[in-house]
Amino acid sequence: MFKIQLLPALGLAFMALFSTVHAHADDATSIRSPEWAQPVGNQFNLHQMTPTLYRSALPDSSAVPVLEKLKIGTVINFLPESDANWLKSTDIKQVQLTYRTNHVDDADVLAGLRAIQEAQANGPVLMHCKHGSDRTGLMAAMYRVVIQGWSKEDALNEMTLGGFGTSNGFKDGVRYMMKADIDKLRTALANGDCSTSAFALCSMKSWLTPGTKEHAATEEKTALVVTP
């Protein structure tokens, strides 16, 4: 993995880490790793992470031809507002997973990663938020670490220095990543658990629902998919 030694070790104080991020933000374009998501065109902060995963800011109807050219099969939206207004008259599936980086927990991340994996079975996926930096950036970083096996340091470098925009929301994503237990997240993802904790709200709901985990997972998936 290509490494850029700009971020301090993850064990250092959070504020020192975030200060370093801002100090080098202006140099991001000149030190971009070829491993990082690569720009696609110059609109909507659109970048390609893998052959089947893209990230962007909130698109509008003019983006539809671009998405169709990229053969996007599913758009995953992390905003509270639906994509239905701009993404219509198309076969692209819509999935809405609202969350905020300042309230993110393992259940949010697992729902996002699971939605990406399931959607990739039907073709390339685009995930987005409003600016394509905070919510999308954190989910992209967690995908890198949990799914692709990147180190936290490498994923944080891409998230904060990749040229996806600057935001105060980075500090929330960095804080979550620093404390996230990656092994527990991988295990929960593989087992179909909604959280790493048996006392999470989604886990407790499954105790009260017939069919336990399988039923809860089916209900969750159904709630996420929006018919175009």
What would the mean pLDDT of 188-203 be, rounded to a whole number?
91
User: How far, in Å, are 104, 106, 118, 142, 161 from residue 111 at the CA level?
Assistant: 11, 8, 11, 12, 26
Instruction: Give the pLDDT score at 218.
Output: 43
What would the mean pLDDT of 188-216 be, rounded to a whole number?
76
Q: Which CATH architecture has domain 14-226?
A: Alpha-Beta Complex (3.90)
Q: Which tens digit of pLDDT belongs to each residue from 13-59?
A: 344 444 444 444 444 445 789 999 999 999 999 999 999 999 999 99
| Measured distance CA(124)–CA(72) in Å, rounded | 5
Domain-by-domain residue ranges, the chain? 14-226
| Measured distance CA(120)–CA(26) in Å, rounded | 34
The CA-to-CA distance between both ends of the chain, in Å, stands at: 39
What would the mean pLDDT of 82-110 be, rounded to a whole number?
94
